[in-house]
Protein backbone atom coordinates (compact mmCIF):
# COMPACT_ATOMS: atom_id res chain seq x y z
CA UNK A 1 0.00 0.00 0.00
CA UNK A 2 1.33 3.45 -0.95
CA UNK A 3 0.26 5.89 1.75
CA UNK A 4 0.52 9.65 2.17
CA UNK A 5 0.36 11.18 5.65
CA UNK A 6 -1.10 14.68 5.51
CA UNK A 7 -1.45 16.99 8.49
CA UNK A 8 0.01 20.07 10.13
CA UNK A 9 3.49 19.96 11.65
CA UNK A 10 3.14 18.28 15.04
CA UNK A 11 -0.05 16.41 14.14
CA UNK A 12 1.79 13.11 14.70
CA UNK A 13 2.72 12.13 11.15
CA UNK A 14 6.20 10.95 12.11
CA UNK A 15 5.07 9.03 15.19
CA UNK A 16 2.26 7.18 13.44
CA UNK A 17 4.26 6.64 10.26
CA UNK A 18 7.03 4.99 12.29
CA UNK A 19 4.61 2.70 14.09
CA UNK A 20 2.96 1.79 10.81
CA UNK A 21 6.32 1.13 9.21
CA UNK A 22 7.01 -1.57 11.82
CA UNK A 23 3.53 -3.03 11.58
CA UNK A 24 3.35 -3.12 7.79
CA UNK A 25 7.04 -3.65 7.12
CA UNK A 26 7.20 -0.87 4.56
CA UNK A 27 9.51 2.17 4.76
CA UNK A 28 8.59 5.55 6.22
CA UNK A 29 9.84 8.22 3.86
CA UNK A 30 10.18 11.49 5.70
CA UNK A 31 11.45 14.38 3.60
CA UNK A 32 12.11 16.33 6.83
CA UNK A 33 14.36 13.51 8.13
CA UNK A 34 16.13 13.25 4.77
CA UNK A 35 16.79 16.99 4.69
CA UNK A 36 17.99 17.04 8.31
CA UNK A 37 20.35 14.13 7.57
CA UNK A 38 21.71 16.11 4.61
CA UNK A 39 22.26 19.15 6.85
CA UNK A 40 24.07 17.01 9.43
CA UNK A 41 26.27 15.49 6.71
CA UNK A 42 26.89 19.00 5.30
CA UNK A 43 26.11 17.91 1.75
CA UNK A 44 25.30 20.44 -0.96
CA UNK A 45 21.60 19.60 -0.56
CA UNK A 46 21.85 20.14 3.19
CA UNK A 47 23.61 23.46 2.85
CA UNK A 48 21.00 24.78 0.40
CA UNK A 49 18.03 23.47 2.46
CA UNK A 50 19.18 24.69 5.88
CA UNK A 51 18.08 28.31 5.68
CA UNK A 52 14.57 27.36 4.60
CA UNK A 53 14.16 24.77 7.34
CA UNK A 54 15.51 27.00 10.09
CA UNK A 55 13.07 29.73 9.06
CA UNK A 56 10.11 27.34 8.88
CA UNK A 57 9.77 27.88 5.13
CA UNK A 58 9.35 25.15 2.54
CA UNK A 59 12.37 23.95 0.61
CA UNK A 60 11.81 24.59 -3.13
CA UNK A 61 9.57 22.05 -4.86
CA UNK A 62 12.13 20.90 -7.43
CA UNK A 63 14.59 19.96 -4.67
CA UNK A 64 12.20 17.77 -2.66
CA UNK A 65 10.52 16.28 -5.72
CA UNK A 66 13.94 15.11 -6.91
CA UNK A 67 14.88 13.43 -3.65
CA UNK A 68 11.50 11.69 -3.31
CA UNK A 69 11.51 10.41 -6.89
CA UNK A 70 14.98 8.97 -6.34
CA UNK A 71 13.99 7.41 -3.01
CA UNK A 72 10.81 5.75 -4.32
CA UNK A 73 12.80 4.06 -7.07
CA UNK A 74 14.73 2.06 -4.47
CA UNK A 75 14.11 -1.63 -3.96
CA UNK A 76 12.60 -1.38 -0.46
CA UNK A 77 9.69 0.72 -1.81
CA UNK A 78 8.48 -2.01 -4.15
CA UNK A 79 5.90 -3.34 -1.66
CA UNK A 80 4.65 0.02 -0.50
CA UNK A 81 5.72 3.04 1.53
CA UNK A 82 4.51 5.79 3.80
CA UNK A 83 5.19 9.34 2.66
CA UNK A 84 5.57 11.52 5.74
CA UNK A 85 5.77 15.25 4.98
CA UNK A 86 5.52 14.95 1.21
CA UNK A 87 3.74 16.28 -0.77
CA UNK A 88 3.43 19.68 0.90
CA UNK A 89 2.27 21.73 -2.08
CA UNK A 90 -0.12 21.10 -4.95
CA UNK A 91 2.85 21.25 -7.35
CA UNK A 92 4.52 18.41 -5.40
CA UNK A 93 1.30 16.37 -5.50
CA UNK A 94 1.05 16.87 -9.26
CA UNK A 95 4.68 15.82 -9.74
CA UNK A 96 4.15 12.76 -7.52
CA UNK A 97 1.40 11.57 -9.85
CA UNK A 98 4.02 11.29 -12.57
CA UNK A 99 6.12 8.70 -10.73
CA UNK A 100 3.86 7.04 -8.11
CA UNK A 101 0.39 5.59 -7.64
CA UNK A 102 -1.04 6.53 -4.29
CA UNK A 103 -3.66 4.33 -2.59
CA UNK A 104 -4.67 6.58 0.29
CA UNK A 105 -3.98 10.05 1.69
CA UNK A 106 -4.53 10.01 5.43
CA UNK A 107 -5.17 13.41 6.98
CA UNK A 108 -4.25 13.64 10.68
CA UNK A 109 -6.39 16.43 12.07
CA UNK A 110 -5.72 18.38 15.28
CA UNK A 111 -6.65 21.87 16.64
CA UNK A 112 -3.97 24.61 16.34
CA UNK A 113 -3.56 25.08 20.11
CA UNK A 114 -2.68 21.40 20.58
CA UNK A 115 -0.20 21.62 17.72
CA UNK A 116 1.60 24.59 19.26
CA UNK A 117 1.80 22.84 22.65
CA UNK A 118 3.13 19.66 21.08
CA UNK A 119 5.74 21.32 18.90
CA UNK A 120 7.14 23.63 21.53
CA UNK A 121 7.59 20.67 23.95
CA UNK A 122 8.96 18.27 21.34
CA UNK A 123 12.41 16.75 21.74
CA UNK A 124 13.94 14.62 19.02
CA UNK A 125 16.78 12.22 18.48
CA UNK A 126 18.68 13.25 15.37
CA UNK A 127 20.32 9.82 15.19
CA UNK A 128 17.33 7.46 15.03
CA UNK A 129 14.40 9.85 14.51
CA UNK A 130 12.81 9.11 17.91
CA UNK A 131 10.33 11.79 19.04
CA UNK A 132 9.32 12.65 22.61
CA UNK A 133 7.41 15.32 24.52
CA UNK A 134 9.06 16.94 27.55
CA UNK A 135 5.99 16.17 29.66
CA UNK A 136 6.73 12.45 29.44
CA UNK A 137 10.54 12.57 29.71
CA UNK A 138 10.76 13.21 33.50
CA UNK A 139 14.00 15.11 33.05
CA UNK A 140 15.58 12.42 30.89
CA UNK A 141 17.81 13.89 28.16
CA UNK A 142 18.76 10.90 26.05
CA UNK A 143 16.89 8.77 23.53
CA UNK A 144 15.28 5.64 24.98
CA UNK A 145 15.84 3.76 21.72
CA UNK A 146 19.48 4.56 20.91
CA UNK A 147 20.87 6.59 23.82
CA UNK A 148 21.79 9.64 21.70
CA UNK A 149 21.22 13.10 23.19
CA UNK A 150 17.75 14.55 22.63
CA UNK A 151 17.55 18.05 21.20
CA UNK A 152 14.92 20.64 20.41
CA UNK A 153 14.68 21.16 16.66
CA UNK A 154 15.66 24.70 15.71
CA UNK A 155 12.36 25.03 13.88
CA UNK A 156 10.37 24.02 17.01
CA UNK A 157 10.99 27.37 18.74
CA UNK A 158 7.80 29.45 19.28
CA UNK A 159 8.59 32.07 16.58
CA UNK A 160 9.25 29.46 13.91
CA UNK A 161 6.34 27.24 14.93
CA UNK A 162 3.85 30.03 14.15
CA UNK A 163 5.45 30.55 10.75
CA UNK A 164 5.31 26.84 9.99
CA UNK A 165 1.61 26.81 10.81
CA UNK A 166 1.05 29.79 8.49
CA UNK A 167 3.00 28.03 5.76
CA UNK A 168 0.99 24.86 6.37
CA UNK A 169 -2.35 26.70 6.14
CA UNK A 170 -1.36 28.59 3.00
CA UNK A 171 0.50 25.92 1.04
CA UNK A 172 -0.22 22.44 2.39
CA UNK A 173 -3.82 22.51 3.68
CA UNK A 174 -5.13 22.84 0.07
CA UNK A 175 -3.96 19.24 -0.40
CA UNK A 176 -6.88 18.09 1.75
CA UNK A 177 -9.30 19.26 -0.95
CA UNK A 178 -6.95 18.02 -3.63
CA UNK A 179 -6.96 14.43 -2.36
CA UNK A 180 -10.66 14.61 -1.54
CA UNK A 181 -11.29 15.33 -5.22
CA UNK A 182 -8.95 12.48 -6.17
CA UNK A 183 -11.14 10.19 -4.02
CA UNK A 184 -8.13 9.20 -1.87
CA UNK A 185 -8.70 11.18 1.33
CA UNK A 186 -9.39 9.72 4.77
CA UNK A 187 -9.37 11.93 7.86
CA UNK A 188 -8.47 10.80 11.37
CA UNK A 189 -9.18 13.11 14.33
CA UNK A 190 -6.10 12.78 16.54
CA UNK A 191 -7.46 13.98 19.89
CA UNK A 192 -6.68 10.90 21.97
CA UNK A 193 -3.51 9.28 23.31
CA UNK A 194 -0.86 8.11 20.86
CA UNK A 195 -2.16 4.53 21.18
CA UNK A 196 -5.76 5.60 20.60
CA UNK A 197 -4.80 7.71 17.59
CA UNK A 198 -2.72 4.86 16.21
CA UNK A 199 -5.71 2.53 16.51
CA UNK A 200 -7.81 5.09 14.59
CA UNK A 201 -5.12 5.32 11.89
CA UNK A 202 -5.05 1.55 11.49
CA UNK A 203 -8.83 1.38 11.40
CA UNK A 204 -8.93 4.02 8.64
CA UNK A 205 -6.49 1.86 6.67
CA UNK A 206 -8.55 -1.30 7.33
CA UNK A 207 -5.60 -2.98 9.05
P1 LIG B 1 9.13 18.06 8.94
O2 LIG B 1 10.15 17.27 9.66
O3 LIG B 1 8.28 17.20 8.02
O4 LIG B 1 8.30 18.94 9.82
O5 LIG B 1 9.93 19.03 7.94
C6 LIG B 1 10.83 20.02 8.45
C7 LIG B 1 11.12 21.07 7.40
O8 LIG B 1 11.72 20.44 6.25
C9 LIG B 1 9.91 21.81 6.85
O10 LIG B 1 9.50 22.88 7.69
C11 LIG B 1 10.44 22.28 5.51
O12 LIG B 1 11.33 23.37 5.68
C13 LIG B 1 11.28 21.08 5.07
N14 LIG B 1 10.46 20.12 4.29
C15 LIG B 1 10.14 18.84 4.65
N16 LIG B 1 9.37 18.26 3.71
C17 LIG B 1 9.19 19.19 2.74
C18 LIG B 1 8.47 19.22 1.52
N19 LIG B 1 7.76 18.15 1.10
N20 LIG B 1 8.53 20.36 0.78
C21 LIG B 1 9.23 21.42 1.17
N22 LIG B 1 9.91 21.49 2.32
C23 LIG B 1 9.90 20.38 3.11
The CATH number of the domain holding residue 74 is 3.40.50.300
pLDDT reported for residue 112: 87
Q: Quick check: is 31 in a domain?
A: yes
* Centroid of ligand 1 to alpha carbon of 49 (angstroms): 9
* C-beta atoms surrounding 124 within 10 Å: 20
Ligand 1 atom nearest to CA at 52: 12
Q: What digits encode the pLDDT tens for the residues 139-190?
A: 999 999 999 999 999 899 888 999 999 999 999 999 999 999 999 999 999 9
Neighbours of 35 (CB within 10 A): 22
Beta-sheet strand order (sheet of 150-151): 131-133, 122-125, 150-151
Does residue 91 lie within any of the structural domains? Answer: yes
Of 19, 36, 123, 153, the catalytic one is: 153
Q: pLDDT tens across 72-88, in order?
A: 999 999 999 999 999 99
Would you say residue 48 lies in a domain?
Answer: yes
Residue 43, domain extent: 2-111+171-204
Report which of 96, 77, 83, 98 is spatially closest to residue 34, judged by C-alpha positions. Answer: 83
Please indicate, yes or no, if residue 178 is contained in any of the structural domains.
yes
Catalytic one of 51, 122, 140, 203: 122
Indicate whether 175 belongs to any domain: yes
Does any domain span residue 165? no
Given phi > 0 = left and psi -120 to 50 = alpha, else beta, which region is 7? left
For the chain, how many structural domains are there in total?
A: 1
Residue 164 known to be catalytic: yes
Asked if residue 119 belongs to a domain, the reply is no
Cα-to-centroid distance, 93 and ligand 1 (Å): 14
Q: What is the pTM of this model?
A: 0.92
Q: Which of 19, 88, 118, 123 is catalytic?
A: 88
Please check whether residue 157 lies inside any domain of the structure.
no
Amino acid sequence: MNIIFLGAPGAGKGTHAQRLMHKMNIPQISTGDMLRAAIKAETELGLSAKRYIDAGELVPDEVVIGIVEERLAQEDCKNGYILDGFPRTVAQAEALKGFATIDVALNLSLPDEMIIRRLSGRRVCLKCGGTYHISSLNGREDCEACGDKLVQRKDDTPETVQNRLNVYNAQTAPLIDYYEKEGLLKTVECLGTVDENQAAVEKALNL
